[in-house]
């Protein structure tokens, strides 16, 4: 579904990603864990062009988003092709990023109307179905300011799903939430996983990584240290750096 090869990225000479390679398969739920500053968010942002990579390649469902030429320069696909590729990926951020001046249902219908040129009547049934799915049908006309953090994040998930992506990227979707609101968002994500959505999830929730993810990826100092089936990752982890990280988390 997504092939990332040798992704390198520096900010002002500071190498934040050092040749990170990763394959995400259709229907796979991959958890990305690792210490603060290890490059997890940057890696996610490189996959969907929120950051421009220095070198490497990203291929999404066989379509090349970016590749690196013989001179070592990263070259992105032409604008129209790039937009089509990026549309296959939905993203949910830690901070929700809802449009404050739009109601819940308008937040969900906005992108399909603007980007896909659909009418309100065309997008409404799907938007309502998504709201039901995240358990917020009674909040359709509420504004984001009147929602709890957990509700906002569930709207953000519904909004991303409204574009019918093939893969969902999550960057610490629960870390801005009070503990009692974390569960409702994780339940929504677990449900998506059960429907075989392909998901890449940066998370500090070890329970989610262990129980819902198929694969766990550990990053440290800009490198991918390990990528393993979730059970094996937690049960027979021999890597000292990972052990000490897990000992601190659990």
Ligand X SMILES: Nc1ncnc2c1ncn2[C@@H]1O[C@H](COP(=O)(O)OP(=O)(O)OP(=O)(O)O)[C@@H](O)[C@H]1O
Q: Binds 139, which of Mg ion, ligand X, none (CB < 5 to 8 A, cut-off by type)?
A: none
Provide, rounded to whole angstroms, the least separation between the CB of residue 105 and ligand X: 31
How many CA within 13 A on the CB side of residue 57?
A: 14
Provide, rounded to whole angstroms, the least separation between the CB of residue 112 and ligand X: 29
Helix axes 149-161, 120-133, angle to 10 degrees: 130
40 vs 154 by CB, closer to ligand X = 40
27 vs 37 by CB, closer to ligand X = 37
Provide, rounded to whole angstroms, the least separation between the CB of residue 36 and ligand X: 3
58 vs 134 by CB, closer to ligand X = 58
Q: Binds 37, which of Mg ion, ligand X, none (CB < 5 to 8 A, cut-off by type)?
A: ligand X
Using CB positions, name the residue nearest to Mg ion. 41
Determine the Cα–Cα distance for residues 80 and 78; give it in Å rounded to an integer: 6
Q: Binds 174, which of ligand X, Mg ion, none (CB < 5 to 8 A, cut-off by type)?
A: none
107 vs 215 by CB, closer to ligand X = 215
Structure tokens at 151: 């509700």
Determine the Cα–Cα distance for residues 45 and 109; give it in Å rounded to an integer: 24
Strands 198-202 and 167-171: parallel
Provide, rounded to whole angstroms, the least separation between the CB of residue 137 and Mg ion: 32
3-state secondary structure of 246: helix
CA angle (193, 90, 83) in 5-degree steps: 145
Q: Which residues bind Mg ion (CB under 5 A)?
A: 41
- No. of helices (H) and no. of strands (E), the chain: 9, 11
Q: Binds 38, which of ligand X, Mg ion, none (CB < 5 to 8 A, cut-off by type)?
A: ligand X
CA angle (220, 224, 225) in 5-degree steps: 75
Provide, rounded to whole angstroms, the least separation between the CB of residue 40 and Mg ion: 5
Q: How many residues does the chain have?
A: 250
30 to 69: interface string for ligand X, x by CB under 6 A = ----x-xxxxxxx---------------------------
35 vs 183 by CB, closer to ligand X = 35
Q: Is the dihedral of CA 132, 137, 140, 145 positive or negative?
A: negative
40 vs 159 by CB, closer to ligand X = 40
Interface residue list for ligand X (CB under 6 A): 11, 16, 34, 36-42
């Amino acid at each position: 579904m997504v092939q990332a090869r040798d992704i390198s990225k520096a900010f002002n000479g500071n190498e934040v990603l050092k040749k990170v390679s990763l394959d995400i398969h259709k229907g796979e739920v991959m958890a990305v864990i690792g210490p603060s500053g290890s490059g997890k968010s940057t890696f996610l942002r490189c996959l969907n062009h929120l950051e421009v990579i220095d070198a490497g390649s990203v291929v999404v469902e066989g379509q090349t988003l970016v590749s690196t030429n013989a001179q070592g320069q990263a070259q992105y696909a032409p604008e129209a092709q790039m937009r089509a590729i990026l549309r296959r990926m939905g993203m949910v951020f830690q901070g929700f990023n809802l449009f404050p001046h739009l109601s819940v249902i308008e937040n969900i219908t906005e992108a399909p109307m603007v980007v896909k040129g659909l009418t309100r009547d065309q997008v409404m049934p799907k938007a309502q179905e998504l709201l039901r799915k995240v358990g917020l049908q009674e909040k359709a006309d509420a504004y984001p300011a009147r929602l709890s953090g957990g509700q906002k994040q569930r709207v953000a998930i519904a909004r991303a799903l409204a574009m019918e992506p093939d893969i969902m990227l999550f960057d610490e979707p629960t870390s801005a939430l009070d503990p009692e609101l974390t569960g409702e968002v994780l339940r929504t994500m677990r449900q998506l996983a059960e429907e075989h959505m392909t998901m890449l999830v940066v998370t500090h929730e070890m329970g989610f990584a262990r129980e819902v993810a198929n694969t766990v990826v550990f990053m440290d100092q800009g490198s991918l240290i390990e990528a393993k089936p979730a059970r094996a990752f937690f049960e027979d982890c021999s890597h000292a750096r990972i052990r000490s990280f897990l000992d601190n988390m659990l």
